[in-house]
């Protein structure tokens, strides 16, 4: 995959993995646009990486998505790389009786439905340009569920299935679809996991870019490659490794 002189949109790009990727790509002569829910976080990200364009957008909100697509069509019609990175993760006790519909739908919409919808909405813009690419930040928990984050695991499993279908359908248009499986990364999402080895967001971004340049369709970082192998050989062992 070419990673210079491209126009890139990264969802959830104001911190963590998204911001690390944005910084690396902006440094390689790409026009990088990041979007996110929190305007203050977006402005802070822009202060750290001045070359970024920022757009406030909640990908689970129809009106926000419509405005984002209109903005990109007017200002950045050359968009040819979409990085679906937005995500949230919640530890939930399914037996508690206190989980609201909103908690469930927000996690599913952010981690799966919103990513599907933004991809389909932007597809005409992406394919108006040559060598369009779509990258999804998946999760090894979509392959092997972690029992204390059940909705997140289910949403990432659904996203993984969608990515495989999308890849086959868009091949005729010459669009490359990549799914990335991060190890545990040092981000705000994982800050409560204090006793676990973590990869820095910067090292993760470097690793991902290296593999994107090699045209990999699936990118496993850190321990996720071994987990994927264990899951094929012994799903019970893989589940034990994830859940202890």
The strand ranges marked E within 110-221 are 133-137, 176-181, 185-186, 199-200, 218-220
With H, G, I as helix, E, B as strand and everything else as coil, classify residue 69: helix
CA dist 151 and 234 (Å) reads: 23
Q: Which of 111, 132, 122, 129 is nearest to 189 (CA)?
A: 111
One of 123, 147, 152, 220 is an active-site residue; which one?
152
Dihedral angle, C-alpha 147, 149, 153, 155, nearest 10 °: 140
Dihedral angle, C-alpha 205, 207, 213, 218, nearest 10 °: -100
Token pair listed for 192 = 């409560």
Cross-strand pairs, 207: none
183-213 burial, b at 16+ Cβ within 10 Å, e below that, comes to: bbbbbebeeeeeeeebbebebbbebbbebbe
Q: What's the start-to-end Cα distance of the chain, in Å?
A: 37
Cross-strand pairs, 133: 81, 176
Give yes or no: 152 in active site: yes
Catalytic residues: 152
């Amino acid at each position: 995959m070419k990673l210079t002189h491209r126009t890139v949109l990264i969802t959830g790009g104001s911190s963590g993995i998204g911001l690390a990727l944005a910084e690396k790509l902006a440094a390689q002569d790409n026009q990088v646009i990041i979007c996110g829910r929190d305007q203050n976080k977006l402005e802070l990200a822009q202060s750290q990486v001045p070359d970024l364009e920022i757009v406030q957008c909640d990908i689970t909100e129809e009106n926000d998505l419509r405005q984002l697509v209109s903005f990109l069509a007017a200002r950045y019609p050359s968009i040819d790389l979409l990085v679906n990175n937005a995500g949230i993760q919640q530890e939930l006790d399914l037996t508690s009786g206190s989980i609201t519909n909103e908690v469930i739908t927000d996690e599913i919409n952010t981690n799966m439905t919103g990513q599907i919808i933004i991809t389909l909405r932007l597809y005409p813009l992406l394919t108006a340009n040559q060598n369009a690419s779509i990258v999804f930040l998946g999760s090894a928990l979509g392959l092997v569920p972690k029992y204390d984050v059940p909705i997140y695991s289910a949403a990432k499993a659904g996203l993984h299935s969608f990515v495989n279908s999308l890849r086959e359908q868009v091949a005729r248009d010459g669009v490359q679809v990549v799914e990335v499986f991060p190890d545990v990364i040092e981000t705000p999402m994982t800050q409560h996991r204090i006793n676990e080895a973590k990869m820095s967001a910067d090292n993760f971004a470097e690793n991902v870019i290296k593999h994107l340049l090699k045209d990999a369709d699936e990118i496993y970082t850190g321990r996720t490659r071994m987990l994927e192998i264990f899951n094929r050989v012994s799903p019970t062992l893989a589940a034990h490794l994830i859940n202890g």
